[in-house]
Chains A and B, each alone.
Chain A
């Protein structure tokens, strides 16, 4: 019922917190079902009814003491139930007007005595307890968004320990889930009844009926007409002062067998109005859900002929779909708009007076052409596609948008294009070329024209022309296709008509203009996955790579012949750029020998060809093979050189290529050696172009992984610039900036710089963000800053540790781990760390529970955090209570050296309290620890030796260690140069030896 309450029920105040349930039919039926469930519970499930709630359900009741009779003890204003829980507390307690109930038994009894106040009580109860399941079964069963794991946890528990209480819990949980489902189902039914009409649905229905109307025996209607031709921008035809009543439009329908019907279509449905010459808005009939249903009631002939038309109906799938389309209005929204209606109602009287005047103005407006086409005439620019930068994720983003099309009000362009289409279809090449050239005089960047070309069927002709031998027709056709393929719908249509295959074939043509155009058009069309696949499968990649092959690279002054070649290469690169967004195409480009060609063109100095070349390279740099090639073919130098280009787009692609490649250390070094760090730092000054900024900060981030680069960045004052950019940036920029700062912070001097230029407050502020990648970087940066006590003071003052701690609750393991790592230096460098940690309510329990994570990095980081927490004795006591010892022991069998090291440290620190040493022994942590000494990692040795030394204080552990052959291993460690290791190893051996001596003494006295 949690989900039903959270989603279906209509709460007045949005979100959590206190809200009240609105009195709506939906809520009432939900409440009634819940009451019925609770009332019947004690009789249907007597055993479960006795179950005592984890926490009482508590609410302000309206019931007086007087209604309580049998089974209750009444002392003045206090009422107690005779039934008591195990702890002796009554299961029902009423003090003043506060009622506490702790079992289903009491709940059902209460509802029974509440009689007619049932509903009120249930409502008050649910309002006060927004998540009753949590109160009943405990927080682990609370309602959560997304996947609910509580059942599984319970099931696991039931399997593990045979606790009857858990089993009971399980049963109740199941019952409640069942109720939840039932509630959701019935509320869905409620909502779905609330179907409302909208202008588009009516328009479609009218168009549909019009298609089957007219003179003749077989038509369904004689005619049907809107009373007004003028349509408002919201699609309604009713005058505004009627629109407030939800009315959409008015129709005059002439059926074959009755008088004309004057009907009103409103959001509530369709009904007969007072009609005749002037519209009388009074409702004269029942409300029907749509026009067809209405007509079925009114005209027998309609029904009869409709049956005949049935076949045609299905022949028109688009209409059929639209016909069904009605808006399911969210009940909540309709409730709000209801309020709006109420408000506007008052103004209606005044409006009616002026209605005559309005009507006149509307009549005038009738003559205006509809603006519908113009409104949809949005040119889809190129930039939207460029932003679809990196690869796979955005590949399917481009879905064809179906726009609603009207048959009326066609723009003049439509007729002009249709006239030309006649010559394309029925003319010889000469006439065709004239028509093609003339067609280019239309504004082909306008969607109206683009869609007109498609709708007239001209697109097929254009594509067919490509398949002829007439070069002039091919060129003319491609010139048009190139323009109109800026439109997503056209792109899909071209691909569907098989245009790509032909264009790929044209790439072999001897005519250079033709090749260029074909490549450019392919570049436009191949913006979606399926098109890219088609290009590849028809050998397009190889041919496109072939376009890059030409001799005249690098020369600055070009002969016309060479400039033609450059143009071909430019178009080829453009097409490859589009295609390179698919992983398989990247592979295909590489196999076709594209990399050395791209590298060669990278040497040239023309921005118009460099941009697609670098664009392709940065797109492909997601593949390791390309990153290697970019490094080894010496492309870094040119990429760095072009960072200083004057074209921002080129700069951006260069930076983002470096961003992707600088994962490799050698690449980072190359960037530095070619002097790339300075232009990158300079580009930080250009904070207007966010795409550029994102690429540049990304490149800086990755380059800063190398320490030498960090020093350079410091020299170029990049750190100050990065800190300055910390506010008001889009997330993709922030992720990179903070990542870069996190890398820079690895050096002490930079941490000071960041503090001095005020970088810490914005960083701490970012801890409240939601973007996962950003959080990982921010926690890392804050953690790095926290290693400086002076920085730590600021972080502490800003409550940064609490923010870090709350990130442990983040579902993403990367964030959890990163936050836990960041917490370590915070605890180390805060003065009253123990006190601070204790002040986080539930914080220690939270972090101990993270030891149940499956993620190695999370485990290692949490162990490290626990190591630090355990340094405070009081906190150690608390985490011991939360069961840290068995949880740590459970992790002991691991091969991960990082985890081993931090685990050993945590164990060593946790030994300091009570009988923890003994417990570690009992939970079998000792034997695996001994094996850690065989690891190759010296830091593991040190931590393990320390842990063993601590554990060896308990005689039983000594025995276990000895049995596992620890002495020999430790003896070797005593000879280590690491003093701490030496000392710990020796101490451990001493403890073992001492035990042995004592035993011998005891034995032989």
Chain B
């Protein structure tokens, strides 16, 4: 099921970066390696428990465990250090019922802070922290990043068009199917573009969302809905408790 780009994205990124907790080695053999991995994971959980403010240490451990499980389930071929794009997409789809590929790619990019096309365990935990339990500020920032397709700090008219282009039922009678989308973009701009520059800055977006929370996911679902996030949390955190 991996497409051919996959190998590109899945290239290993083993080198530890400064300022980040040591990354668990994915490959290892023998007891010593297992022991050291366990210890590393312990350290990692400690430090993440402190840095990711919405999870406690135990929850962090559960998430790491889930990460390991999911990574292990995936192809062993690359012995990946994290999720690649497809794996992440599958996870989003199965755990949170997301369907829009473009949005899911953007979510992947947003999780992938270091832009190495691979979500490592730290990015995973920190991303989920906002994704599941983020404050309004965090979520506004997150959503804006998702919607700012080219990352230039603005959601432009074209980007909106891209994101909304599938949002209307195609009606055979309509002369120009894009016309409806363009109108919808206009409506959205009218509603949210406070400085009238024809594109949404972060300021615009933040103001609009604070005014009307529903606009947080104005251009497509990029956060879990309450039911699936509750189900996910329950499954992840409670199964661990049983163990």
B187:A426 contact, CB within 8 angstroms: no
B187:A428 contact, CB within 8 angstroms: no
Interface digits, A406-439 against B, CB 8 Å rule (1 contact, 0 not)? 0000000000000110110011111101111110
B214:A433 contact, CB within 8 angstroms: yes
B5-13, B54-62, B160-168 - interface stretch? B160-168
B218:A426 contact, CB within 8 angstroms: no
B43-51, B79-87, B148-156, B219-227 - interface stretch? B219-227
Write out the residue numbers on chain A whose beta carbons fall within 8 Å of the beta carbon of B52: none
In the complex, which of the residues B169, B171, B191, B214 contacts A441, with contact meaning CB atoms closer than 8 Å? B191
Q: In this complex, what residue of A is CB-closest to B183?
A: A419
B226:A428 contact, CB within 8 angstroms: no
B221:A430 contact, CB within 8 angstroms: yes
Residues of B158-215 at the interface with A, using a CB-CB cut-off of 8 Å, are 163-164, 166-169, 171, 180, 183-184, 187-188, 190-191, 212-215
Write out the residue numbers on chain A whose beta carbons fall within 8 Å of the beta carbon of B163: 430
In the complex, which of the residues A427, A436, A471, A511 contacts B184, with contact meaning CB atoms closer than 8 Å? A427
B168:A428 contact, CB within 8 angstroms: yes
A510:B227 contact, CB within 8 angstroms: yes
B168:A434 contact, CB within 8 angstroms: no
A431:B184 contact, CB within 8 angstroms: yes
CA distance A471 to B188 in the complex (A): 20
- For the complex formed, measure the closest distance between the CB of A479 and the CB atoms of chain B, giving whole angstroms: 8
B164:A510 contact, CB within 8 angstroms: no
Is B123 located at the chain interface by the 8 A CB criterion? Answer: no
Is A246 located at the chain interface by the 8 A CB criterion? Answer: no
Is A440 located at the chain interface by the 8 A CB criterion? Answer: yes
Write out the residue numbers on chain B whose beta carbons fall within 8 Å of the beta carbon of A437: 191, 212, 214-215, 218
Write out the residue numbers on chain B whose beta carbons fall within 8 Å of the beta carbon of A428: 166-168
Interface digits, B209-243 against A, CB 8 Å rule (1 contact, 0 not)? 00011110111110001110010000000000000
CA distance A615 to B164 in the complex (A): 47
A435:B171 contact, CB within 8 angstroms: no
- For the complex formed, measure the closest distance between the CB of B228 and the CB atoms of chain A, giving whole angstroms: 11
Among B164, B166, B184, B225, max chain A CB count under 10 A is at B184
Check A434/B183 contact, CB under 8 A, given A427-B168, A429-B221, A472-B217: no
B226:A434 contact, CB within 8 angstroms: no
Q: In this complex, what residue of B is CB-closest to A510?
A: B226
Residues of B5-27 at the interface with A, using a CB-CB cut-off of 8 Å, are none
- For the complex formed, measure the closest distance between the CB of B106 and the CB atoms of chain A, giving whole angstroms: 14
- For the complex formed, measure the closest distance between the CB of A397 and the CB atoms of chain B, giving whole angstroms: 36
B183:A426 contact, CB within 8 angstroms: no
CA distance A479 to B221 in the complex (A): 20
Write out the residue numbers on chain A whose beta carbons fall within 8 Å of the beta carbon of B190: 438
CA distance A430 to B99 in the complex (A): 13
Q: In this complex, what residue of B is CB-closest to A513?
A: B213
B226:A427 contact, CB within 8 angstroms: no
Q: How many residues of A contact B (CB 8 A)?
A: 26
CA distance A370 to B9 in the complex (A): 66
Is A476 located at the chain interface by the 8 A CB criterion? Answer: yes
CA distance A435 to B215 in the complex (A): 11
A430:B169 contact, CB within 8 angstroms: no
B191:A431 contact, CB within 8 angstroms: no
CA distance A80 to B190 in the complex (A): 99
B166:A433 contact, CB within 8 angstroms: no
Write out the residue numbers on chain B whose beta carbons fall within 8 Å of the beta carbon of A472: 214, 217
CA distance A441 to B169 in the complex (A): 24
- For the complex formed, measure the closest distance between the CB of B200 and the CB atoms of chain A, giving whole angstroms: 13
- For the complex formed, measure the closest distance between the CB of A516 and the CB atoms of chain B, giving whole angstroms: 13
- For the complex formed, measure the closest distance between the CB of A476 and the CB atoms of chain B, giving whole angstroms: 5
CA distance A681 to B235 in the complex (A): 62
Q: In this complex, what residue of A is CB-closest to B212?
A: A437
A438:B187 contact, CB within 8 angstroms: yes
B167:A430 contact, CB within 8 angstroms: yes
- For the complex formed, measure the closest distance between the CB of B183 and the CB atoms of chain A, giving whole angstroms: 7
CA distance A70 to B230 in the complex (A): 112
CA distance A112 to B225 in the complex (A): 97
- For the complex formed, measure the closest distance between the CB of A799 and the CB atoms of chain B, giving whole angstroms: 69
- For the complex formed, measure the closest distance between the CB of A431 and the CB atoms of chain B, giving whole angstroms: 4
A436:B214 contact, CB within 8 angstroms: yes
CA distance A429 to B226 in the complex (A): 16
CA distance A429 to B227 in the complex (A): 16
Q: In this complex, what residue of A is CB-closest to B169?
A: A426
Write out the residue numbers on chain A whose beta carbons fall within 8 Å of the beta carbon of B183: 419
Check A433/B218 contact, CB under 8 A, given A419-B183, A422-B180, A426-B171: yes
B184:A434 contact, CB within 8 angstroms: yes
Write out the residue numbers on chain A whose beta carbons fall within 8 Å of the beta carbon of B221: 429-430
CA distance A430 to B102 in the complex (A): 14
Is A764 located at the chain interface by the 8 A CB criterion? Answer: no
Residues of A133-166 at the interface with B, using a CB-CB cut-off of 8 Å, are none
- For the complex formed, measure the closest distance between the CB of B188 and the CB atoms of chain A, giving whole angstroms: 5
A510:B230 contact, CB within 8 angstroms: yes
B217:A426 contact, CB within 8 angstroms: no
Is A576 located at the chain interface by the 8 A CB criterion? Answer: no
CA distance A126 to B207 in the complex (A): 82
Write out the residue numbers on chain A whose beta carbons fall within 8 Å of the beta carbon of B180: 422-423, 426
Between-chain CB contacts (< 8 Å), 13 pairs: A427-B168, A427-B169, A430-B217, A434-B188, A437-B191, A437-B212, A437-B218, A438-B191, A440-B212, A471-B225, A510-B227, A510-B230, A513-B213
User: 10 tightest A-B contacts by CB?
Assistant: A431-B167, A426-B169, A428-B167, A438-B187, A430-B167, A434-B188, A438-B191, A430-B220, A437-B212, A511-B226
